[in-house]
Amino acid sequence: MKYIQLFENFQDGSHSTILMFGPQGVGKSTLSKELSKKLGMSIVESDDVIDQGDWSSEDTWSKGWSVRKKNEFIGMKKYLSENLGKRVILDIGGSHGVWDGAMLKEILDMINDYPNRFLIIPSPNEEENTEFLRGRLLKRELGYHTDNVKYWDAVLSGDERFGVKFDPSDRKEFLERIRLVKSENKFRNMALSQRNSSKERFDSLSKNPEFMVYTNSPDQKFDFAMNKIEDYSKFFIDTMLQSGVANHVIYNKDKSSEQLMDEVISKLVL
Pairing of strands 210-213, 117-121: unpaired
Q: Do both 98 and 69 map to the same domain?
A: yes
The helix (H) or strand (E) run that includes residue 117 is strand 117-121
Q: Do both 83 and 114 map to the same domain?
A: yes
Helices (H), ranges, 84-223: 101-111, 126-157, 168-183, 185-207
Query: Is residue 220 a part of any domain in this protein?
Result: no
Comparing CA positions, the residue from 235, 11, 17, 215 lying closest to residue 116 is 17
SS3 129: helix
Q: Do both 140 and 99 map to the same domain?
A: no
- Per-residue pLDDT reduced to its tens digit, 85-97: 999 999 999 889 9
How far apart, in Å, are the Cα atoms of 206 and each of 48, 200, 228? 29, 10, 11
What pLDDT shows up at residue 1? 41
- Per-residue pLDDT reduced to its tens digit, 32-90: 999 999 888 999 999 988 876 655 455 555 565 666 788 789 999 999 999 999 999 99
CATH number for the domain that contains residue 46 = 3.40.50.300
CB neighbours (10 Å) of residue 219?
5
Q: How far is residue 139's CA from residue 206's CA, in Å, rounded to a whole number?
A: 10
Range of the domain at 27: 2-122+232-267
Task: Please identify every stretch of the chain with a pLDDT value under 70, giving residue numbers as ranges.
Answer: 1-12, 52-67
Query: Is residue 185 a part of any domain in this protein?
Result: yes
| β-bridge mates for residue 88, sequence order | 42
Angular region, 45: left φ>0, alpha ψ -120 to 50, beta rest? beta
- For Cα atoms 16, 77, 252, give the angle at the middle one, nearest 5 degrees: 55
Query: Is residue 219 a part of any domain in this protein?
Result: no
What pLDDT shows up at residue 71? 78
pTM: 0.86
Q: Do both 116 and 137 map to the same domain?
A: no
Q: How far is residue 226's CA from residue 170's CA, in Å, rounded to a whole number?
A: 27
SS3 244: coil
What pLDDT shows up at residue 59? 59
Query: Is residue 61 a part of any domain in this protein?
Result: yes
Q: How far is residue 34's CA from residue 91's CA, in Å, rounded to a whole number?
A: 12
